[in-house]
Amino acid sequence: MLKFADPAFFYGFLMIPVFIIIFILMLNWKKNALRRFGDQILVLKLMPDVSKNRLIIKFIVALFAYIFLIIGLANPQIGSKLEKIERKGIDLVIAIDVSNSMLAQDIKPSRLQRARQAISKLVDDLKNDRIGIIVFAGNAYVQLPITTDYSAAKLFLSTINTDIVPTQGTAIAEAIDLAIESFDKNDHNKAIVIITDGEDHEGDALESAKKANEQGIKVYTIGMGLAEGGPIPVYDQFGNMIGFKKDLQNNTVITKLNETILQQIASAGDGTYVRANNSNAGLEVIFNEINKLEKTEFDSKVFSDYEDRFQYFIGLALLMLLLEFLVLEKKGKYFRNVNIFGESIKTRLLGNQKVK
């Protein structure tokens, strides 16, 4: 198993085309500079020690030194052993509402952004628990299957926005049903957290929450929004806000939190309801409740004993730099008169006369 400890250093490869372009421009500049001294062939004959090929070789060697240095800084690592370890935790699925009403800014910076920030912080606090993510609006979709890969969870979380689900609505019931199907058929303690404003909910969410509870899955809800609600921003294709959503009578639409339905869902799912506000997104409170559940053991296979391999590439980089230093731009005295493909320079200069 190969991985890189610091893959961000690979951005250094973007400089390689820049170096090549600069080198080509330098060669052209030298060529034009020689032309100003006179006939190019004659000038080169008067400079028998100069070797253009050696300059190119030095550049290629230096470029390889740079490539090996970047790979070394990225620190390639090899997992030498696949190990099965026992972990204790719970299975948690977070279902997040991505309907347009979640763009309301009664909770700063917006309901959706605040929810994403809270989930990201939760992921940072997870230890051995497994997490999955579901997004829903008019329909529900699995954004991330249940996993212990917290880096992947944060990556998928960063892609969540209101455009990710094409149909509008608040399909809470479908999100709960999909979460139930996402869990493995095992004895792990399981929990579902629904993050939504509850507005325009569709389907029989109470029945879905009861079904989850019957299967030993607790359902928690977090209400995103304040009692007074807020308008729904409208953005252009460049992400600039151009106004607020209007109804058919051209009145600004105010989206309000539907606390009643969310309280009922939590009650049916034997969970807890928390309302978010500008100081607390509520997810920490819910997670503290979930942490009270008994942790169950599960097997997890991971690569252990990762061994660093950066030293080999750093060594190659240093070797290339040494080689670049040893390769001189000028020909040595032993190669000065060597011309494999034709007569010596002295012979041509003296018009084929014998050189004494």
The DSSP annotation for 67-98 comes to HHHHHHHH-EEEEEEEEEEEEEE-EEEEEEE-
pLDDT tens string, the chain, 356 residues long: the values are 677 888 889 999 999 999 999 999 988 887 777 677 656 666 656 555 566 677 888 899 999 999 999 999 998 887 655 555 556 778 899 999 999 999 998 888 899 998 898 888 888 888 778 899 999 998 999 999 998 888 888 888 888 998 888 888 889 999 999 999 998 877 668 899 999 988 767 778 999 999 999 998 999 999 988 888 888 888 888 878 888 888 888 888 888 888 899 999 999 999 999 988 877 767 788 888 877 776 666 555 554 556 788 888 999 999 998 988 887 655 555 444 544 434 444 444 444 444 44
CB burial readout 121-156, b (16+ within 10 A) else e: ebbeebeebbbbbbbbbebbebbbebebebeebeeb
Task: Tell whether 119 and 16 lie within a shared domain.
Answer: no
Residue 355 lies in a domain: no
Residue 180 lies in a domain: yes
Task: Tell whether 213 and 319 lie within a shared domain.
Answer: no
CB burial readout 288-306, b (16+ within 10 A) else e: ebbeeeeeeebeeeeeeeb
Task: Tell whether 331 and 216 lie within a shared domain.
Answer: no
CA distance 74 to 68: 10
CA atoms within 13 A on the CB side of 330: 6
User: Tell me, what CATH number does 118's domain have?
Assistant: 3.40.50.410
Joined together, the tokens standing for residue 19 give 């170096």
Task: Tell whether 56 and 185 lie within a shared domain.
Answer: no
pTM of the model: 0.59
Q: What angle do CA 208, 214, 217 make, to 5 degrees?
A: 80
Task: Tell whether 70 and 131 lie within a shared domain.
Answer: no
Task: Tell whether 236 and 290 lie within a shared domain.
Answer: yes
**Main-chain phi, psi angles of 235, to 5 degrees:** -120, 150
Cis omega (within 30 of 0) for bond into 17:
no
Residue 96 lies in a domain: yes
Torsion of CA 331, 336, 340, 342, to 10 degrees: 130
Task: Tell whether 36 and 141 lie within a shared domain.
Answer: no
Beta strand extents in 264-325 (DSSP E only): 273-275, 296-308
Q: What is the per-residue pLDDT for 262?
A: 93
Which among 64, 78, 75, 76 is positioned nearest to 13, based on CA atoms?
Answer: 64
Residue 354 lies in a domain: no
Backbone dihedral region of 301: left (phi > 0), alpha (psi from -120 to 50 degrees) or beta? beta
Domain count across the chain = 2
Task: Tell whether 295 and 330 lie within a shared domain.
Answer: no
Joined together, the tokens standing for residue 236 give 């252009």
Residue 356 lies in a domain: no
Q: Which residue range(s) make up the domain with 91?
A: 84-301
Task: Tell whether 205 and 147 lie within a shared domain.
Answer: yes
Which among 168, 225, 219 is positioned nearest to 194, based on CA atoms?
Answer: 219
Task: Tell whether 138 and 197 lie within a shared domain.
Answer: yes
Helix (H) or strand (E) holding 328: none
Residue 107 lies in a domain: yes
Q: What is the per-residue pLDDT for 37?
A: 65
Residue 257 lies in a domain: yes
Task: Tell whether 128 and 145 lie within a shared domain.
Answer: yes
CB distance 72 to 204 below 8 Å: no
Q: Which of the listed residues 301, 322, 341 is the one where a domain comes to its end?
A: 301
Q: What is the per-residue pLDDT for 263?
A: 93
Task: Tell whether 209 and 271 lie within a shared domain.
Answer: yes
Residue 273 lies in a domain: yes
